[in-house]
């Protein structure tokens, strides 16, 4: 038996394609989770009750149920009401909304921590409440939560492996397909882990650069 990594190069193209899908779905879901988190936070804090109530219901559902179940509901469940999403799109929506809810909690706390005098000063110079939020309060709040949001993005990368269950050919599913052809699980799972680690290092570097630029601009 033993280990035999000589079979890996034959399937390297499959693993690299899986990496590309993983990076693509992670970046798209990260963007959705970031801007969705801001939107959820503003709606929860400043929206009228008819808007706040649905957003709080969405937050309760996404925080109180497993991500895997949410992916199943979006991909398999929505078909029953006539919404047939491609697996890749369903994965992005599921991951994006799931982490948008957690980002929203961070951003709400940061918004509430901004000195109320900032809003009052913005209003005195002629800005509407929406303009004051967009140009003064939210930028300060977002700067304060970049580190924890960065941690959420790294968690999102790891959880992106779950989209393999709805048929997205990301890194984990690509490794499983190579294993199905070679019956060498240890070698290919180890290679997949190595690829995830490299992508994770890249994301950590990006988050570190963003944090550094923000600290310099203060």
Q: Check residue 7 and report its DSSP letter.
A: G
**pLDDT value at residue 130:** 82
Q: Which of 186, 188, 183, 187 is closest to 173 using CA atoms?
A: 188
Residue 121: the pLDDT is 84
Instruction: Please list the pLDDT of the chain residue by residue as tens digits (218 residues).
Output: 678 888 999 999 999 999 999 999 999 999 999 999 999 999 888 888 888 888 888 888 899 999 999 999 999 999 999 999 999 999 999 999 999 999 999 999 999 998 888 888 888 888 888 888 888 888 889 888 998 999 999 999 999 999 999 999 899 999 999 999 999 999 999 999 999 999 999 999 998 888 888 776 65
CB 173 within 8 A of CB 22: no
* 16-38 burial: b if 16+ Cβ within 10 Å, else e: eebbebbbebbebbbebbbebbb
pLDDT computed for residue 1 by the predictor? 60
Going from the N-terminus, what domains does the chain have, and what CATH number goes with each? 5-217 (1.10.3720.10)
Choose among 195, 176, 166: nearest CA to 77.
Answer: 166
CA distance linking residue 83 with residue 90, whole number of Å = 10
């Amino acid at each position: 038996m033993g280990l035999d990594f000589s079979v890996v190069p034959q399937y390297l193209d499959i693993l690299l394609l899986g990496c590309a899908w993983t990076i693509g779905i992670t970046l798209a879901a990260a963007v959705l989770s970031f801007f969705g988190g801001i939107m959820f936070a503003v709606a929860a804090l400043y929206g009228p009750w008819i808007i706040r109530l649905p957003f709080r219901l969405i937050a309760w559902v996404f925080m109180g149920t497993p991500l895997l179940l949410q992916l199943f509901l979006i991909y398999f469940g929505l078909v029953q009401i006539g919404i047939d999403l491609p697996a890749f799109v369903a994965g992005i929506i599921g991951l994006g909304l799931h982490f948008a809810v957690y980002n929203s909690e961070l951003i709400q706390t940061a918004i509430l921590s901004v000195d109320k005098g900032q809003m009052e000063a913005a209003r005195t110079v002629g800005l509407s409440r929406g303009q004051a939020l967009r140009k003064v309060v939210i930028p300060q709040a977002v700067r304060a939560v970049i580190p924890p949001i960065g941690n959420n993005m790294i968690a999102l990368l790891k959880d992106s492996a779950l989209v393999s269950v709805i048929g997205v050919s990301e890194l984990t599913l690509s490794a499983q397909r190579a294993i199905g052809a070679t019956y060498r699980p240890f070698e290919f799972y180890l290679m997949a882990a190595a690829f995830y680690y490299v992508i994770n290092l890249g994301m950590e570097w990006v988050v570190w650069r963003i944090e550094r630029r923000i600290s310099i601009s203060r």
